[in-house]
A and B are shown apart, each in its own frame.
Chain A
Amino acid sequence: MTEQQIRSIMQRNREDGCTALFETYYHYVYAIVFRYVRRYGTTEDIEECVVDVFAQVMEHFPAIREGTLKAYLATAARNRALNLCRTLSADARQTVPIDGDSFIELTDAQDIAADTEQRELTRRVLDCIESLGEPDSSLILQRYYLGHSAADIARTLRMNPVTVRSRLHRAVKRLRTMLEEQDITL
């Protein structure tokens, strides 16, 4: 759904608008929050943060400039996630840098060139994953981005756990071959 469509629904009915907003951006917001909070918090913390983000966006929705809704959501998600990380790390006596970028686990975090290379590499890996097609691309990301078990993946993707295991095995093999052709070794 486009931002314009969401705004249109929101004008007619706030609750329906909220549903439209959630349906459109839920997985994106969750992915952002997960990206930051996974190291510091639980699944419950991640889910709480996701709800906070949407509640915040809904509260400020009339003030969000047209054309910036997705960016606003992403920023809100990132900031909320970072704040939560700081709270959680304070509880755990860990240190969370103010700059969220330092969460990125670069091979050489001080090196901008390495940062660029890392992003390019991630992009190419994602290209390969995407080219695997469904459901293999989804299986790879469930396993290696979200860290889910075969049983969790089966539940999320509504597949047989045996199927998940066998397909994942084959998908990783295919992915590795594709990456090796691009001189990327995993």
Chain B
Amino acid sequence: MKERSLRQLLQNADGSELERIAALTPMTDDKTKKRLQNAVQRRIAPDSFTPEAEETGDAKPIRHSFSTAFSAVAACLVIAGTAAGAFYLKQNAVPRIDPASEVSELSTEQLPQEIVQEETQISVDYDMTDKMGVLGKMLNSMDYYSQVSGEFVRNESDMVNGAGIVTFAVDLDAWTSNQQLVRGSLSLPAEEVLQGAEPDFAAIANYDANGGLRYYSEGSRKYCLFDDASGAWYRSEPGEAYDPDEAKVDPEALVQYDAQVHANGEQAVESFPYRATPANAYCVDCIYPVEYAEYLLDPDTWEITGEETFLERNCVVLQGRGTQSELDFTMYVDKVTGCLLWFESRYSSGELAEWLRVRSLAFDEDAAPVTDTRVGREEWNEQEHTTERPDDIPSAWLAYGTNSHGETYASAGQMRLVRGNYDQLPDLIRFGETRDEYGRRSTDCFVKKTELFELFGDDPDTALSRLMQAHNKTETAVPVAELKLYDIEGETVVQTVVYYDEP
């Protein structure tokens, strides 16, 4: 049989086939149908056919009224920035929480169902001149592209003048992604890189052999190549299955929920409503900027200050002050997709804190394809949280820093790699940092491995897990232990953290 086009076959259907097609699928949405039905009713209404009315155009309102109707619908649904549009989004497209009732009873234990819309909720064309529109598009950016690829450079906060370049390709249809992070310490001032200078990684940090990580994901499984030189690939246990009917996140409900959380004296939304994405690692900063959307949860702290064209894409410019960090931030958010193209936050002194600059970005047919970087690799090591760990961790990973006493110290990233292996943990394990009066990181804080294990036992998993639970304090908890935090030399006690347990 000759090759034919499905489109041609169907569009040439006639007679009873047309009736079958009409029975199988709606020809228009309900709104259009209702509008046309109203038009018919107007046409058959007795007083619509008076000659006077016809002369004025009222009696034959079809094309004219359709134009009006289209204008009205466009004003409500499409044209950004109109009050009508905003009203429509708020009243019809986005479910709301009644501030006087349901929100007051919410806790952070479980996200309110209202934050995620029903799966049958129609797609929303967010108004990008409206704060909730911008937030909504950022929280649901994956609804606005199928494929995306690009590259961006950003700061790496656990390194001195650290920066990383993320290169990625994501295919939502195939539910795959590949991405690579290369990072190191900049020789150039970060400010210059943010303004477009080529990042200089002359001094690669001792993060791993090549200063890079590679990820590939397929379905619910993620594969990670920590060290290209050793050829050691790790794969995750299969995660939750991709749910194609996943509901979108309602920005307005989330904002109200966040306000209620703060009103209850809690710090932040604990269970942020992340949507599933195959882009499960670094590139989400750009293409699913939900972490940055958290800056926007209090609409009183930021403004849409204008528009900019960046990388030939129209962006809205957002400026404000983070409620938690008290850093002044600027974002460029792509109007079409909600992707983040530029981010900078600054201390009150004006010094650069966190930053991100997209260097290239392409969507759908322009996007580079996802390539399977695992080709040729058939044996897998299970990832860090399983019991199967490599006995012999590549020495490149363990190129820890060394202080003046010869003690080794390591960043959180390095510590994760060797978690579970006491001997390979550094002498000083980085726990956090203190901030100066401008909010800048001033002193890195470390726990001594010996003291950590003396306090929490010999099992590294348990000890490291407990280490991170310092702030878990409930109303009934009682202090059970203290752990000293030292400076990088392991001499000066910078802070003491208290651990609590339920009696």
Q: Which of B1, B10, B28, B37 makes the CB contact (< 8 A) with A122?
A: B10
Q: How many residues of A contact B (CB 8 A)?
A: 68
Tell me whether B244 and A105 are in contact (CB under 8 A): no
Contact with B along A117-135 (1 / 0, CB 8 A): 0110111011001100000
Contact with A along B389-414 (1 / 0, CB 8 A): 00000000000000000000000000
How far, in whole Å, are A145 and B5 apart by their CA atoms in the complex? 11
User: Given contacts A35-B14, A105-B12, are A18 and B143 in contact (CB under 8 A)?
Assistant: no
User: Given contacts A44-B63, A47-B66, A156-B28, are A125 and B6 in contact (CB under 8 A)?
Assistant: yes
Tell me whether A185 and B123 are in contact (CB under 8 A): no
| Cβ of A106 under 8 Å from chain B | yes
Tell me whether A145 and B66 are in contact (CB under 8 A): no
How far, in whole Å, are A81 and B123 apart by their CA atoms in the complex? 32
Tell me whether A35 and B11 are in contact (CB under 8 A): yes
Q: Which residues of B contact A142 (CB under 8 A)?
A: 25
Q: Which residues of A contact B67 (CB under 8 A)?
A: 44
Q: Which of A44, A48, A137, A150 makes the CB contact (< 8 A) with B24?
A: A137
| Cβ of B100 under 8 Å from chain A | no
How far, in whole Å, are A141 and B22 apart by their CA atoms in the complex? 9
Binding-face segment, B39-47, B286-294, B304-312: B39-47
User: Given contacts A26-B37, A35-B18, are A160 and B245 in contact (CB under 8 A)?
Assistant: yes
| Cβ of B377 under 8 Å from chain A | no
Q: Which residues of A contact B39 (CB under 8 A)?
A: 51
How far, in whole Å, are A15 and B42 apart by their CA atoms in the complex? 10
Contact with A along B353-365 (1 / 0, CB 8 A): 0000000000000
Tell me whether A186 and B13 are in contact (CB under 8 A): no
How far, in whole Å, are A147 and B11 apart by their CA atoms in the complex? 9
Q: Which of B40, B70, B143 makes the CB contact (< 8 A) with A54?
A: B40
User: Given contacts A31-B21, A137-B24, A162-B142, are A22 and B37 in contact (CB under 8 A)?
Assistant: yes
Contact with B along A80-108 (1 / 0, CB 8 A): 00000000000000000000010011110
Q: Which residues of B contact A14 (CB under 8 A)?
A: 44
| Cβ of A163 under 8 Å from chain B | yes
How far, in whole Å, are A118 and B10 apart by their CA atoms in the complex? 10
How far, in whole Å, are A91 and B81 apart by their CA atoms in the complex? 36
| Cβ of B424 under 8 Å from chain A | no
How far, in whole Å, are A170 and B144 apart by their CA atoms in the complex? 20
| Cβ of B463 under 8 Å from chain A | no
Tell me whether B143 and A55 are in contact (CB under 8 A): no
How far, in whole Å, are A158 and B33 apart by their CA atoms in the complex? 14
Contact with B along A158-171 (1 / 0, CB 8 A): 11111101110100
| Cβ of B321 under 8 Å from chain A | no
Tell me whether A126 and B29 are in contact (CB under 8 A): no
Enumerate B208-223 residues with CB–CB distance to A below 8 Å: none
Within the complex, the shortest CB–CB distance from B455 to chain A, in Å, comes to 47
Q: Which of B10, B18, B62 makes the CB contact (< 8 A) with A51?
A: B62
Q: Which of B3, B13, B62, B123 makes the CB contact (< 8 A) with A126?
A: B13
User: Given contacts A119-B17, A162-B246, are A157 and B36 in contact (CB under 8 A)?
Assistant: no
| Cβ of B26 under 8 Å from chain A | yes
Tell me whether B18 and A156 are in contact (CB under 8 A): no
Residue in B1, B13, B27, B245 whose Cβ sees the most chain A Cβ within 10 Å: B27
15 A-B contact pairs sorted by A residue (CB < 8 Å): A19-B41, A27-B22, A48-B63, A52-B62, A55-B43, A118-B12, A122-B12, A125-B6, A130-B24, A141-B25, A147-B11, A154-B123, A160-B246, A161-B123, A167-B244
Q: Closest 4 A-B residue pairs measured CB to CB?
A: A30-B27, A138-B25, A27-B22, A31-B22
